[in-house]
Structure 1
Amino acid sequence: MDCFQTVSHLKGSVCHRLLLFIIWLSGFQDVLALQTMHEQMHVPSALELANPPISVFFEPIEISPAVLPHDPHPNESLPPMYPTFPTRYEPVLTGRCPVNFSAISSIMDKTASDCSQPLAALVGNVICCPQLSSLLHIIQGFYGMSSDELVLKNSVASDCFKDIISILASRGANSTIATLCSIKSSNLTGGSCPVKDTITFEKTVNTSKLLEACSSVDPLKECCRPVCHPAIMDAALQISGKQLMNNENKDVVGEFNHVDSLNDCKQVVYSYLSRKLPMDVANGAFRLLSSCKVNKVCPLDFKQPSEVIKACRNVAAPSPSCCSSLNAYIAGIQKQMLITNKQAIICSTVFGSMLRKGGVMTNIYELCDVDLKDFSIQAYGQQGCLLRSLPADVIFDNSTGFSFTCDLSDNIAAPWPSSSSISSLSLCAPEMSLPALPTSETFKNPGCRGGGVQILVSIFSFFVFGTLLY
């Protein structure tokens, strides 16, 4: 009997110790988690910042306000990495615009988010301005639903435009987006286009062909093998009444008038599509057409890189002075705006062509480890952010604030041009969209999958580029 009691006592003692070990292990994991969070929140000293990173490969980042400390000085300007949220209020309207804005509230909210106060200047070229332009097209079509008018009358266009900007600002949008996107009230009127009503439009244009081409725009094909855009251009030419004037005897003044009329008639075509297509379908089509346009050019402003040319003209191997000069120049570029991955390819080629024209023949991008993401704003520390080439929106969440999705977080080398000319550059070559992603053999990092990694970067008031904010 004593033997059984002894065994039972030992079993209980073992179970008791095992239970204590599990409790201790759980507590130890909590301590490790707190220590890890403390290390993540550690602000590096100037000496630490001066040292280069150990590796050129950076893990994807997930910035969350949950790990941010409370602001110790609420009355002072916010330091980096504190979330900002829009202040909504009731707008003061003119009372003279006949548009029922409440019926298109969802598209107004999307536009206000895409043109939010802290981000509008940074994402204007890719997100804000294309969405604002799409909103105006949709309002044009919605305005004439009860009549044959495809555009706003001149007598109400100015008041409606003021109301649109006021409503967007009341929902958190930057109040200067009209200037930022070069949009005026005349964009709502159809300008000099001779056709502004549905009846004449449908008599002039093959509307079945137009709607078939634009009711389902293929995001993978439209930019390189367009279907909707040519249909819009064809319709605009027909209603402009000037398609037969495109001949060698046309004088310069007539050509400018033709261009203005054609552009105004394109707005009328967009308005017709807005009337006939569901609002989300029309907005998606308009945004995709805008993406095709903005991804064909580099929106960055490159000043003459004379210092870089001087430091890098004769280098054939990694040179501290050359790379220092190049990095200083690129640091200035990184304060301009967020760009897409395809824009980054064009921008790196444009800049490389400028350097080659100045006599820099060596691929200094490779010598100095310059990546595509280096041409866009750096989202956090050393981690650059490129937006996707397809249409994207700024996302607002009540807990995390504004955010957007970054693409191409891997270190993809910037392409060095083969000559000082960029006329041969095309992103529509067969099967070409972006440079090859690094493979796992190149970067021995099991924590990231090459190619498919996307980062959701929560954007707070860490944009310290004062010249860009309004």
Structure 2
Amino acid sequence: MIWEISGLIWAFASGSWCHRLLLFAIWSSFFQNVLTLQTPLELTHISSTSLLEASPPKSGIFRPIEVSPAVIPHYMFPGKSLPPMYPTYPTTYDPVLTGRCPVNFSAISNILDKTASDCNQLYAPVLGNVICCPQFSSLLHIFQGFYSINSDNLVLLNAVADDCFKDIINILASRGANGSIPAICSVKSSNLTGGSCPVKDINTLEKIVNTSKLLEACSTVDPLKECCRSICQPAIIEAALKILGTQSFADNDKNHLDMLNDCKGVVYSWISRTLPHDAANTAFRILSACKVNKACPLDLKQPSEVIVACKNVAAPSPSCCSSLNTYIVGIQKQMLITNRQAIICATMLGSMLQKGGVMTNIYELCDVDLKDFSIQVAVADGQQGCLLRSLPADLVYDNSSGFSFTCDLSDNIAAPWPSSSSLTSLSLCAPEMSLPALPTSETLGNLGCRGGWTDLFVPILSFFVFGTLLF
């Protein structure tokens, strides 16, 4: 060990300043690794069964927790109060079907089961925007493609669509889903018909659309890239515009917008018909996640009382914080949202307050966190906000604990106060970045690092050998 240290000291004293900098970095890394090994980081896992018993850790990294219905506040579900720590289980029965929908539903049983779970009777009202409705929409796309597998049509006729839609809802309800899914998700049987789209058969679509390009873009959707560097979404829109017979239209043209959405449904049907059900469901859920995470789903009323109480505040004020807290408590009773949605909601509310004349960051003054914008779940010392992950998620069913979902406890950060009252600049996607050019031999020479690298080889090699033996 003495030889290795003396070798490094010799190289440090005799080398150029660049050599010295490199050796200093290596030496610092060595001691940092030793310190890390001596003081391992404690990870704290909070399970659903211990939420009402254990005290929260004072420090450390929170892992996601599984939340069962027992820890959901009762005020969220009027008339459905549950005893604490008693899990819920789906009530299943044999559905009564119309008999007029010529589909073998058992062939898509897995997707039906997943949808029934994600739209659980108890959770659907508060998880509709993030989990239930995206999965239900995906089910309809897959059903539409499956229905047309033995025909040339990519849509259903109106009468058949009504019967099939009723059968789908009845099957889901018989497997424990909420019977009010159409109202929760604002979906009708007409979503299966192609609406006003001029192209509804597979032959015409494949003549107009570059289906190879469409399939390549949407067969595998990257959940980390699609929302910011979209590949599948533009391909679907391009295909829909082509079968619509136009290249573009004004954003405020509602008729054309409705037609575009109808044609997008036809394109979704073609994708569902082409891809395996699981692959199509995964792709559609990712696309839905991109969409829902671009907007705040909360109903933000005009914060008039907060503006009056906080307009001229420059320091922590009990009346201001009390008014803001009362407003946020009303928000917390609406629904569970994702971490990205919470950022947008906090920014929108801050913008509304700024437009009313509240220029001070009252989020900071009143200790408002992102989690305060979502439903609060019961924990040992009271309640804590639950933010869902922005990536697609499903409810999980377990025979012992019933249904559960995951709260991401790593988002315990302050709510962002907008830099201005305008939301036009708000973006959750990182800007494009370019790496600096690699240094040339001339620049290396100018920096004093040209040549002499062999002087460092022996002490560095012995240093790493010593480090390997030590650990």
Q: Does 2:159 correspond to 1:155?
A: yes
Give the aligned partner of residue 227 of structure 2.
223
Asked whether the 8 Å contact 1:288–1:390 carries over to 2, the reply is yes
Partner of 1:445: none
Partner of 2:321: 323
Q: 1:111 to 1:430 in 2, by over 3 A?
A: same
Q: Which residue of 1 aligns with 2:295?
A: 297
SS in 1 for 2:312: coil
Q: Secondary structure at the match of 2:225?
A: coil
Q: Which amino acid in structure 2 is aligned with residue 319 of structure 1?
A: S
* Deviation (angstroms), 1:345: 0.4
> Do 1:385 and 1:409's aligned partners in 2 also have CA atoms closer than 8 Å?
no
Aligned residue for 2:284, secondary structure, equals helix
Q: Which residue does 2:407 correspond to in 1?
A: 406
Partners of 2:129 and 2:247 in 1: how far apart? Answer: 31
**Structure 2 vs 1, CA of residues 62 and 224 (structure 1 numbering), >3 Å: closer, same or farther?**
closer
- The C-alpha deviation readout for 1:115-140, integer Å capped at 9, x for no partner, is 11011010111111111010000001
Closer/same/farther in 2, CA of residues 247 and 266 from structure 1, 3 Å limit: closer
129, 133, 152: which is aligned to 2:137? 133
Change (3 A) 1:77 1:319: closer
TM-aligned CA deviation for residue 152 of structure 1: 1.2
8 Å CA contact retained: 1:58, 1:383: no
Amino acid at match of 2:179: S
- Distance (Å, rounded) in 2 between the aligned partners of 1:400 and 1:218: 32
Partner residue in 1 for 2:418:
417
Structure 2 match to 1:335: 333
SS in 2 for 1:243: coil
Residue 353 of structure 1 contacts residue 419 of structure 1 at CA under 8 Å; is this kept in 2? yes
Q: What TM-score do you get using the length of structure 2 for normalisation?
A: 0.74
Question: Unaligned regions of 5+ residues in structure 1, if any?
Answer: 1-36, 45-52, 68-75, 433-470
Which structure 2 segments of 5+ residues have no match? 1-48, 72-79, 434-471
What is the identity, as a one-letter code, of the residue corresponding to 2:329?
Answer: A
Deviation at 1:101, TM superposition (A): 0.6
Q: Which residue of 1 aligns with 2:261?
A: 263
- CA shift at 1:355, angstroms? 1.0
Percent of residue pairs bearing the same amino acid type: 75
Amino acid at match of 1:407: D
Q: Aligned letter for 1:398?
A: N
The residue correspondences of 1:64-213 to structure 2 (distance < 5 A) are: 78-213=82-217
Across the aligned residues of Structure 1 and Structure 2, the Cα RMSD in angstroms comes to: 2.8
What is the CA distance between 1:256 and its match in structure 2?
3.6
| Aligned partners of 1:127 and 1:392 also within 8 Å | yes
3-state secondary structure, aligned to 2:149: coil
Report the CA distance between 1:65 and its aligned residue.
9.4
1:78 shift after superposition: 2.7
| C-alpha displacement of 1:80 | 4.1
Letter in 1 for 2:283: A
SS in 2 for 1:110: helix
* Amino acid in the other structure paired with 2:151: S
SS in 1 for 2:134: helix
Aligned match of 2:237? 233
Which whole-Å deviations, capped at 9, do the CAs of 1:42-97 have from their partners, x for residues lacking one?
9x9xxxxxxxx998999766667999xxxxxxxx9533443211100000000000
Amino acid at match of 1:259: L
Q: How many residues align?
A: 373
Deviation at 1:423, TM superposition (A): 1.3
Change (3 A) 1:300 1:276: same
Counterpart for residue 390 of structure 1: 391
CA contact (8 A) 1:123 1:337 kept: yes
Shift of 1:193: 1.2
SS of residue in 2 equivalent to 1:403? strand
**Aligned partners of 1:57 and 1:410 also within 8 Å:** no
CA distance in 2, matches of 1:403, 1:164: 24
Cα distance change of structure 1 residues 366 and 257 upon mapping to structure 2, 3 Å threshold: closer
Match of 1:306 in 2: 304
1:144 match: secondary structure: helix
Contact 1:369–1:413, Cα closer than 8 Å, also in 2:
yes
SS in 2 for 1:145: helix
Deviation per CA, 1:177-231, whole angstroms, max 9, x where unpaired? Answer: 0011111111011111111111111111110000000011111111111110111
Shift of 1:258: 2.2
**Aligned-partner Cα distance in 1 for 2:155–2:162:** 13
